[in-house]
Amino acid sequence: MKGKSLIICLILIAAAIAGYRWLPSYYNPFAPLTLDDPPGTLTQFKLRRLTPEHCDVLLAQANARQLIRTQAVADSTGECPLSDVVRVRSFGSVSLSSSFLASCPLALRSALFVNQQARPITETMMGSGLSRIDHFGSFACRNIYHRANARRSEHATAEALDISGFTLENGQRISVLRGWKSASTEPWLRALLSASCGYFGNALGPDYNAAHANHFHLGMRGVGYCPQSINHQQKGENM
C-alpha cells in the first residue's frame, strides 16, 4: 500500500512539474512580465515586482509597438530632483492634450491601461474609439495638497497622472467633472476608473473627495488602493 502511495505521489509531482513547464507565461507568477500579459491579479503582481531594468526594456518594446511614444529626458536637480524619467508624447493613436513627464513605471502602466482597457472599454460602452486624453499634468514639486507639514506628493517624483477628460473619435468631449454627473457617461467613466485600479497603486476619482471632482488621480503608491469614498481622517494619504 505504501509503495502504491509513493508511486501516486511521484506521478502527481511529475505531472505538476510538466504542467508548470508548459504553463503560459501570463499564468506563471514567476515569469517576467510581457506586454501581452492580460489584465488581472497576476499582471498586477508582476507590475509591483518589476525591476528598473526590465521596465526600461518593456517601455522600449512598447515604443516599438507604438503603444506609447516617449522621449528621453535628462536627470534634473533641485528641490524635487528627477532621474530616469521620460516625456510621454502619446499612447499610440491616442493623443494627449500635452506631453507629460513620467517615471518608467508610470509610463509603462499608463500605456498598458490605455491600450488594454481604456480603448476597448470606450469602444464598447460609448460606441466610438478613444481619440485623446486630457490631463492636468504629472510633475509638480509640492507636498500633498500643498500642506507645509505633509509628505511629498507623488507628483513631486512624476509618479502620478491627473486625467481631466477624454475626446472620442466621433468628436465628443467628456470632462470628468461634468461626465461624472451625466447618466450617459458616468457608467463609462466609472468603468475606466475601476479598470485603472489593476495597473496603478492608487486610482482616485470624484467620489474620493472634493479635490478630485474634476479628475482621476492615477498614482504609484499603494497596492491597488482604489476607494470610492473615505472619511476626512483618511483623505489625501496617497496624493
| pLDDT tens digits for range 108-123 | 999 999 999 999 999 9
Q: Give Cα separations from 34 to 42, 65, 126, 151, 208 (angstroms).
A: 12, 13, 29, 34, 32
The pLDDT of residue 232 is: 33
pLDDT digits (tens, 9 = 90+) for 181-217: 999 999 999 999 999 999 999 999 999 999 999 999 9
- Judged by DSSP in three states, 77 sits in coil
Distances (CA, A) of 76 to 73, 79, 157, 160, 162: 9, 10, 11, 18, 22
Residues 6+ apart with CB under 8 A from 95: 131, 132, 133
Q: List Cα–Cα distances, 126 to 29, 90, 197, 226, in angstroms.
A: 34, 21, 20, 23
What is the tens place of the pLDDT at every residue in 48-98? 999 999 999 999 999 999 999 999 999 999 999 999 999 999 999 999 999
- Composition of the chain by helix, strand, coil, percent to 5: 40, 20, 40
**What integer is the mean pLDDT of 135-139?**
97
Residue 25 has pLDDT above 90, yes or no: no
* pLDDT score recorded for residue 61: 98
Confidence of residue 9 (pLDDT cuts 50, 70, 90): low
pLDDT band at 24 (very low <50, low <70, confident <90, very high): low
* Residue 139, pLDDT score: 96
Residue 150: the pLDDT is 81
Res 28 pLDDT > 90: no
Q: Residue 142's pLDDT is what? A: 92
Q: Which residues sit opposite 90 in a β-bridge?
A: 69
Cα dihedral 227, 228, 233, 239 sign:
positive
Q: Are 174 and 168 in contact (CB under 8 A)?
A: yes
Q: What is the mean pLDDT of the chain?
A: 88
